[in-house]
Amino acid sequence: MTGTAAVIGGSIGGLFAAAALRKAGWQVQVHERVGVPLSGRGAGIVTHPQLLHALAEVGADTSDLGVQVHDRVVFDRDGARVTTLPYPQIVTSWDRMYQTLRRLIPDDAYHLGEMLASYTEDADGVTLHFESGAEARVDLLVGADGFRSAVRARLLPDVQPAYSGYVVWRALAQEADLSPEMRDRIFDVFGMFMPQGTQIVGYPIAGENNDLRPGHRRYNFVWYFPVSQDGLTDMLTDASGQTHAISIPPPLVRDDVLAQLEETAARVLPDVFQHVLAKSERPFFTPIYDHLSPTFAKGRVALSGDAACVARPHVGMGVTKAAQDALALARHLAGDVSAGLQAYSAERVPLSRAAYERSQMLGRHMMQVPMQGDPMDGRHNPNMDEIIRLTAVADF
């Protein structure tokens, strides 16, 4: 069966769902709550074979998708290489992925500034009610509106994201701003530093407008940083005293919070990562939450991407998981909608659980105390081999 569908959420997950459904013959409208064109501030995305397959399946252009890295390298606190694992992988940027998928959706089917207020479902379809007062009637509703999903809040109100106990700091440095010595040591690899209780990951991505020329690319810096619940509340409080729920807009992060990050970096990080951070744009942080919905569908309503399940970013599967959800959703909707959605959920819940549980395992590995040696030198993490082998790997 095909018919009309509404996808709530116009980011990468929503675009994947819309593109897959359109390819299967559905008439799809995408509704994004943000009123301006989306931007990912250049955040990095690790690709996997499953993601490349999904892009091809929906008809996306995968040429010049990103930067090819060949090795994973662990650095110690002195900046020396501890170990190297050959692992070819393409790393790309949020903006590149978004633009690639956005081209597949006609402008008249993509609506900015449309916040879903509620929906009502009956045997024949779903009626959407937007905060603007607009309404829409569709055969299928897909919630692809992120981990704070308005669709999931109505479908599964008891499913709430749980704070993991740490945040991720992100920053981008221009390749041209790095010193030749530092660039030669770090730029062309998937780099890691893994002392007790924290972890750094870094890799090259394209420059602005997907510029892949040497000297015009960027380096993506990721720092997993433990923060207590009280500490998180403080970090989410801006200079005016307002405490933001869930996350804080990057420009509102207080200067003293950034100063504390810089002080810790000077004390803890290897010189290569200190240099990247010093040359970066203003860093921003995101608290890490995770959740797994027990079902991805009820009736004529489905959840997809982060709305259905959020696995911590150690597995690097957020976009790939959303892509796999989208393909499975379109494939199972060839017949009756309700039956197809139940088959979709039955396929995707266990596979998402595997990513969810691995991400938590890698988080625990990050925190584990070394059996011997200096816990902060980056050489004695007892789980180093497993971390380097499984981080950002999609083998399920």
pLDDT tens digits, one per residue of 9-31:
999 999 999 999 999 999 999 99
* Mean per-residue pLDDT of the chain: 95
Query: 338 and 295 in contact (C-beta within 8 Å)?
Result: no
> Residue 370: is its pLDDT beyond 90?
no
pLDDT of residue 34: 93
- C-alpha to C-alpha distance for 65 and 63, rounded to whole angstroms: 5
pLDDT of residue 41: 62
CB atoms within 10 A of CB 70: 12
Residues 127-138 have pLDDT tens digits of 999 999 999 999
Residue 111 has pLDDT above 80, yes or no: yes
Q: Which residues on adjacent β-strands are paired with residue 243?
A: 237
Question: In which band, very low, low, confident or very high, does the pLDDT at 141 lie, cut at 50, 70 and 90?
Answer: very high
Predicted local confidence at residue 334, as pLDDT: 87
d(CA 137, CA 145): 19
Tell me the average pLDDT across 293-313: 97
Taking the CB of residue 165, how many other CB atoms lie within 10 A of it? 14
Residue 285 has pLDDT above 90, yes or no: yes
Euclidean distance between CA atoms 130 and 132, whole angstroms? 5
Alpha carbon 219 to its chain centroid, in Å, reads 17
Edge-to-edge order in the sheet of strand 116-122? 116-122, 125-130, 135-138
Mean pLDDT over 268-292 rounds to 96
Q: Is the pLDDT of residue 182 over 70?
A: yes
What order of strands is seen across the sheet that includes strand 199-205? 44-46, 81-93, 67-75, 190-193, 199-205, 218-226, 162-174, 284-292, 309-310
Q: Answer yes or no: is pLDDT of 220 > 90.
A: yes
Task: Quote the radius of gyration of the chain (alpha carbons, Å).
Answer: 21
Neighbours of 233 (CB within 10 A): 12
Distances (CA, A) of 63 to 39, 97, 326: 21, 12, 21
| pLDDT of 257 higher than 70 | yes
Q: Is the pLDDT of residue 382 over 70?
A: yes
pLDDT at 43 over 90: no
pLDDT at 369: 74
pLDDT at residue 371 is higher than 80? no
Dihedral over Cα of 146, 90, 98, 137: its sign:
negative
**pLDDT band for position 42 (50/70/90)?**
low
Place of tokens 């690709």: 47
The Cβ of residue 120 has, within 10 Å, a number of other Cβ atoms equal to 11
* pLDDT at residue 37 in the model: 87
Over residues 52-98, the pLDDT tens digits come to 999 999 999 999 999 999 999 999 999 999 999 999 999 999 999 99
Structural domains for the chain:
4-39+100-161+291-361 (3.50.50.60), 67-95+162-288+367-390 (3.30.9.60)
